[in-house]
A and B are shown apart, each in its own frame.
Chain A
């Protein structure tokens, strides 16, 4: 199996930690006073979902686990799970809600997502930079409320609530950062 050095770390990579598959959630450089360089990571155990911190020596090598990324089309929801189809093999696969994390509330039937698989098990997804969503419910911006930066909450087609500027109306398409759930911009007006 391939090994990599800490300098090759990327978010989302799967590595072996204490004999278990773990995904790198976060990593950052740390240099203790008058000491060598280290890489502090947050690792999510793929089997248990438990997140823990581990600090590697800079340059330490770890085993990289072969994660494949497949394009999957979201078909329908079944309980808490999302049934998807692999666009290459046409195979259907069930993805538990936890695998999608915060993105679960932005899923739209028919959309294609980049799903990460380890030994044919879905373990996560590559988040798109933005997701376009139709505003299904929006109250009119309150008149007289002209403070710059004033916000209101609207509901989008997938049912998620998003904090947006006052000028957004029902029927507008907005884009949202799927990682933070923050409003980015108005894509088109009704």
Chain B
């Protein structure tokens, strides 16, 4: 942890704060140079995008008669930023706090963290991949210019004893390529290609059989996503972590589409990627879903899952659906964990050492 008491004992913690400040300055500079507008959006909101894999923070807002209104803390600035884009804003970015309840006891998660989120209109996730590369390369070279002793190389850093080169090209690997390579599972092994409905395509019994054969235990309530991710986390991710270059893992199976567009060539996949560097999952990006009807369907599905899992009930952001009805232009967005980015450049293995904690 890094409470004020730890700061008194350990001067490295102050250095981490200085590096953090530099990184944030580089981020601002990168986006300002390209004419992105920096925005600030609400953290306290009456409705949220329902996300069944997250647990929300709920609170009460009082009016002048002390009547209570249920409010939530945002898990990301996505809804507000997209609404601004519908209203007419073009490229924009935000550095803000995000809140995800229950995410304690971890080196890489914490219930309150800093997120960088940006949107680029008239572009797809391919452009976001390029933005991630240029942004990270800029940060590395700015830090090198700032402190040549600590950062002796403009495109090479050492994280947890391993060199990571930011030189292009980075490793691009589709999720199913990686799964095929490291877990010996192809998309056809775990989906029903010719089925009609989403439910039939992503048949739980089909993937469950594959998982059980590999020795995993499968519970009655397990979802396709849970089974897939367990195999992924045990067999694929550890191998991805070993790769020397930053890794862009792209085209996720549709049950993990979240708010991304499905792939035009294969509806079983979504246009979504994640950036991994030094084993840290740093950023998540989509070609944004603009179809409000598909979005409404996903909302319903998420709300049902939240109910089934017994998580805190939320009020879905119908205003967001209204905005999509008006029309979100073709766009791509990225959410990047700023604390993890700071961990990477400070060579820290815990998120609790790159900011003051309570």
Contacts and interface: CB of A to CB of B under 8 A. Distances in A.
Given A29-B104, A53-B238, A60-B219, A35 B109 contact: no
A112 interface: no
Interface residues of A, number: 21
A132 to B, nearest CB: 21
Contacts of B281: 32-33
Contacts of B226: 35-36, 57
A38 interface: yes
Contacts of B105: 27-29
A53 B274 CA distance: 22
A32 B108 CA distance: 11
A166 to B, nearest CB: 16
B61 interface: no
B103 interface: yes
Given A36-B223, A57-B226, A30 B217 contact: no
A87 interface: no
Interface stretch (B183-191, B198-206, B229-237): B229-237
B238 A60 contact: no
B251 interface: no
A129 interface: no
B106 A32 contact: no
B258 interface: yes
Contacts of B53: 31, 34-37
Interface residues of B, number: 33
A56 B274 CA distance: 22
Contacts of B106: 28-30
Interface in B105-131: 105-109
A17 to B, nearest CB: 10
B256 interface: yes
A40 interface: yes
Interface in B159-200: none
Nearest to A9: B105
Nearest to B272: A34
Contact of A30 (B102, B222, B233): B233
A15 B232 CA distance: 23
Nearest to B235: A55
A31 B109 contact: yes
A90 B170 CA distance: 64
B284 interface: yes
Interface in A1-34: 18, 27-34
Given A37-B53, A57-B226, A32 B233 contact: yes
Nearest to B260: A34
A32 B215 contact: no
B225 A36 contact: yes
Contacts of A18: 215
Q: Which of B104, B109, B272 has the most CB atoms of chain A within a 10 A radius of its CB?
A: B109
Contact of A36 (B229, B234, B237): B229
Contacts of A40: 233
Interface in B91-107: 100, 102-107
Given A29-B103, A33-B281, A36-B53, A55 B233 contact: yes
Interface in A124-158: none
A56 B100 CA distance: 20
A38 B217 contact: no
A33 B272 CA distance: 10
A54 interface: yes
Q: Which of A32, A33, A36 has the most CB atoms of chain B within a 10 A radius of its CB?
A: A33
A53 B233 CA distance: 10
Contacts of B103: 29, 31
Nearest to A26: B107
Contacts of A37: 53, 102
B280 to A, nearest CB: 11
A55 B237 CA distance: 11
A54 B230 CA distance: 9
Interface of B: 51, 53, 100, 102-109, 215, 217, 219, 222-223, 225-226, 229-230, 232-234, 237-238, 252, 256-258, 272, 274, 281, 284
The 6 closest A-B pairs by CB, nearest first: A55-B233, A34-B258, A29-B106, A33-B284, A35-B229, A28-B106
Given A30-B233, A55-B234, 8 more contacts: A29-B104, A31-B109, A32-B237, A33-B274, A36-B53, A53-B238, A56-B230, A57-B226
16 contacts: A18-B215, A27-B105, A28-B106, A28-B108, A30-B106, A32-B232, A32-B233, A33-B256, A33-B281, A34-B258, A35-B256, A36-B223, A38-B233, A54-B234, A55-B230, A57-B226
